[in-house]
Amino acid sequence: MSDNRSMTDDSVQQASAVEQVPDHILTPEFHLDVLDELVYPAERRGAVPLASSPDNRYPYAYPRDIASITRAWLTAVEADVRPDDCTRRILDAARFVLAVQDETGAWQQRYALDGTDKSIYVQEDNTGHGLRVLAHALLALDATNSTEAVDDDFYATAVDAVERAVPFVRDELFDPNAQLVESTTSIHEGRIESGYTLWVNCTFVAALRSTVDALSTLRETPAVVDAVEEFRTRLEGGVRRAFTSTRHVPRRYSPTGDIDARPDITLLAPYYFGLDDLFGASVEEAAERAVAALDDPELGGLQRFLGFYRDYEVQQHGGNGPWMQYTAWHAQYRFDRGEVERGDAVLETIARYADDSGHIPEHLTTRDRFESFMENEWHTRRDFEKEFDEEVLRDVPFDLVVEELGHMKDAYRDLAEQTAERNVVSFALPLAWSHAEFLTALLRRADAR
């Protein structure tokens, strides 16, 4: 396949996607190999995938990403693709997640390999993602009949983590009046995530469900399961009322309760977390509305949200464009609904933008969009104001802000060099999350055929 760096604009638009996809990119084993390359030993416990390579944009371990990656590994276990290796990887990641849990029971945005908390934003959903990682580990052990691979201390530590995390969510994050989990930031940074978001609440419903399923695999069901079930029931009632009673599934309720129905990638959350029974027909309504609104008309693939840069709640991150991990969600959605040809077309769109090694980036933009971002947001400091909005920041040392600014500056300098050579440019390649979602899509494709 030709590297998209050397493609002309015409070839990007007109070349057959099928002809551009080498066979190895369409095999689960290739993506497992890429993920293996991004797993690093942790200094405290376990080994964990970094979001990207240590010298790239995101040299950190993000619970959100780890949960998505362990989800992909668990899907491979269930499909009998390298089940023992994938189980070992999930366990290593779970050990790291256990080691970095706060005393409060929470997990934060991101960590260094030595376990240092490198978080900038208050991202409440990460406590849900931490629970999901632990659940994935227990479910993988059960699926491979390999409970002897861990000692009793692992199970006891995992149960203790649940016993601390669930009360934290219930007592500190859950609003008993709205019957929803309140959030500041989540899958996106910025004020667009303030209030009561679809993503955060779906995350916690899925986390509580998977936690119960996972703990039920143990020889003796822990007493905490009853508390988890009681809270899950309350939260599910609030989610059903708030997000399925309106004409369209809203992406959030603002802090004052106003409905925010703007199209956003998080409308795929009910599907992504397998909440069809809770949302009913609203799963497809939300997903189809997101796909229709967010498809990039120039590049293909799904954007995170519509790109109106004057909206203070929207961050472009170098220029609007499609995000590969979210585009892979779309492929999974099509395969799960038996729409194999449509799913194949989505995967081909993603693979078109892989490099010569088959590495998939985080997201794409164009020269014009990048230059507009630099002119209207970076040089005017608008992007800085959005990125480091005091309303969504944790109380962190300014050194962390400076460190993040350095990563941003390096990324945009790299993009400037890319735009000197080509029109379509990419961020953070390879991104572990993108490969995990592509892997999951391939495994779902096999089930659909």
Q: Is 195 helix (H, G, I), strand (E, B) or coil?
A: strand
State pTM to two decimals: 0.91
Query: Is residue 207 in a domain?
Result: yes
Closest CA to 269 of 68, 121, 123, 59: 68
- For 345-392, the pLDDT digits (tens) are 999 999 999 999 999 999 999 999 989 888 888 888 877 777 777 777
Q: What is the dihedral of CA 315, 319, 321, 326, to 10 degrees?
A: -40
Distance between CA atoms of residues 323 and 280, nearest Å: 27
pLDDT of residue 385: 77
**195: phi > 0 → left, psi -120 to 50 → alpha, else beta; which?**
left
Task: Give domain status of residue 402, yes or no.
Answer: yes
The pLDDT, as a whole number, for residue 14 is 30
In angstroms, the CA 232 to CA 244 distance is 17
The C-alpha angle with vertex 379 and arms to 321 and 315, in degrees rounded to 5, equals 35
Spatial distance between the Cα atoms of 291 and 265, rounded to a whole number of angstroms = 8
Q: Give the count of domains, the chain.
A: 1
The CATH number that applies at residue 136 is: 1.50.10
Residue 132 falls inside a structural domain: yes
Strands 259-260 vs 39-41: parallel, antiparallel or unpaired: unpaired
- Structural domain includes residue 391: yes
Domain extent, residue 367, equals 9-235+299-448
Residues of the chain with pLDDT under 70: 1-21, 57, 189-190, 309-310, 312-314
User: Are 411 and 57 within 8 A, CB to CB?
Assistant: yes
Q: Is residue 358 part of a domain?
A: yes
Distance (Å) of CA 360 to CA 36, 55, 316, 348 = 15, 16, 19, 12
Tokens, residue 51 = 């979001």
- Closest listed residue to residue 402, CA positions, set 387, 417, 391: 387
In a domain, 288, yes or no: no
Task: Please give the Cα distance from 92 to 133 (Å, whole number).
Answer: 10
Q: Would you say residue 286 lies in a domain?
A: no
Q: Output the pLDDT for position 2.
A: 31
CB 408 within 8 A of CB 387: yes
Q: What share of the chain is helix, strand, coil (3-state, %, to 5)?
A: 55, 10, 35
Q: Is 377 within a domain?
A: yes
Please give the pLDDT value at position 20: 59
**Hey, what long-range contacts does 336-345 have (CB within 8 A, 24 or more apart)?**
336/271, 336/444, 336/448, 338/448, 340/445, 340/448, 340/449, 343/441, 343/444, 343/445, 343/448, 344/445, 345/17
